[in-house]
Amino acid sequence: MLKLAHARRRGALARAQAAAHDSAVDRPQTSYAWNDGTALAYQVVGTPGPDLLLVPGSVSHLEVLWQEPRVHRFLTRFAGFCRLIIMDPRGLGLSDRLTEIPTLEERVDDLLSVLDAAESEHVTLFGNADTGPPCIAAAVSHPDRVGGLILCGTYAKASWSDDYPWGWTDEGFADFRKSVRDGWGTTERMERIAPSMAGDQAFLQWAATLMRLGASPRAILLLGEMTMSVDVRPLLSQIAVPTLVMHRIGDRINEVDHGRYLADRIPGARWVELPGDDFLLWAGDTDVIVDEVEEFLTGRRGGGEPTRVVTTVMFTDVVGSTERARALGDRAWADLLERHNARVRAELRRFGGREIDTAGDGFFAAFDSPASAIKCSREVLGSVREIGVDLRIGLHTGECDVVGDKLRGIAVHIGARVASNAGAGEILVSQTVKDLVAGSGIEFQDRGSHELKGVPGEWGLYSVI
């Protein structure tokens, strides 16, 4: 029976390794396309199907985007029904920085260069904020390559005029320049950019990091100058591809009338007013955006199988929490927990972990790499020990269902059970984790075979030395 259980686990391990190798969603690789000497960072993730080129607006950094659980899930959902190509526009993220204001033609050529490098012959373009105009221009000038157009939270013209009263005024742009000079890369003004996330400090700190790493203040000011000069209104009537226009009704940066203008003047465009007040694409209700895109591309809405990903789950638990809480008292215990939470979250960000849930004094997090999960666990143990807290940590790698912001499935259950078997100050891992990091130099001590409550068979568990 024990041999059979080990054989089953070896089969599961082989499937997990194959899935991890084949699935770009878990570990997207950044590549570069070139347009006349300018390097453009892009990634290709997802399943065979219609190609979608997502061009994030405002500010972008491909590798920072995946670190935020909401964005990771947003992109993973796209990758479940299409071949997703995502790029950092010139001046942003991992693409080359700006030295001068790019022209509309250069930005169109950037899109085509990425499509060429990604070997995409026929694509739907997704433009957001300042990337909407080049997507519009590309759809008009290259109908042989562009088969569809999605515009979300964007515009045909950014600046105010008598015949376009929704754009930015000179005074508004001067205020924007001042905010960049005085507060770029901080959480200031987030109440306008992402009001729905005002109470989520982890998200706000991530967004501030995205700003700092995604663009320098000078690059943003140059892109702002470009934005104020763009006007693709004459092109709207020439768009001959299926078009979906979406805009959040309470957007505090780009008024919803920008979207209504686009939908009214693009022949046959589908218009969707989205709920919410957020300007930032990644904030608010992103599920409704993905649902609309899926229906636009595939003709169905959420009709596919649940997205499954191979991931390493981490569960932590404070040792002796009840006794510590009783000894310290409610206020001191709450203060200690707050310090504990801040230290755990800092290490999760450092090692690419995604916080899935917290319950009381425990964390549930996910990692794309089991080695990263082990390294993070070591640092977490050391960090919280400095404030007098001991943890037990359990790790397991397997396939999980992505359900909303959460992960579900037997792998999650196994991870929790592994953690419950760990001792104070111990990182306990399953056989699967141990086998996946073979050759990494990480050493283990055999803790023998265990029955995990609610999980069939016996499981070999190992303590990280």
Instruction: Please say whether the beta carbons of 227 and 108 come within 8 A.
Output: no
pTM for this prediction: 0.68
53 token code pair: 């080129």
Burial 67-97 (b: 16+ CB within 10 A, else e): bbbbbbbbbbbbbbbbbbbbbbbbbbbbbbe
Please tell me the least confidently modeled range out of 10-19, 38-47, 138-147, 369-378: 10-19
The pLDDT of residue 404 is 66
The pLDDT of residue 14 is 39
CATH superfamily of 308-464: Nucleotide cyclase, GGDEF domain (3.30.70.1230)
Instruction: Please say whether the beta carbons of 336 and 364 come within 8 A.
Output: no
The pLDDT of residue 2 is 34
Topology agreement, domain 36-298 and domain 308-464: no
The pLDDT of residue 255 is 93
- Any idea where the domains of the chain sit in the sequence? 36-298, 308-464
Give me the CATH code for the 36-298 domain, please: 3.40.50.1820
Measured between alpha carbons, how far apart are the two ends of the chain, in Å?
A: 29
How many angstroms separate the CA atoms of 143 and 37, rounded? 25
Res. 6: pLDDT tops 70: no
Res. 94: pLDDT tops 90: yes
The residue to which tokens 């209504």 are assigned: 260
Instruction: Please say whether the beta carbons of 362 and 340 come within 8 A.
Output: no
How many angstroms separate the CA atoms of 340 and 387, rounded? 8
pLDDT tier at 48, thresholds 50, 70, 90: confident
The residue to which tokens 């075979």 are assigned: 449
Res. 19: pLDDT tops 90: no
Find the angle CA(41)-CA(312)-CA(42) to the nearest 5 degrees.
Answer: 5
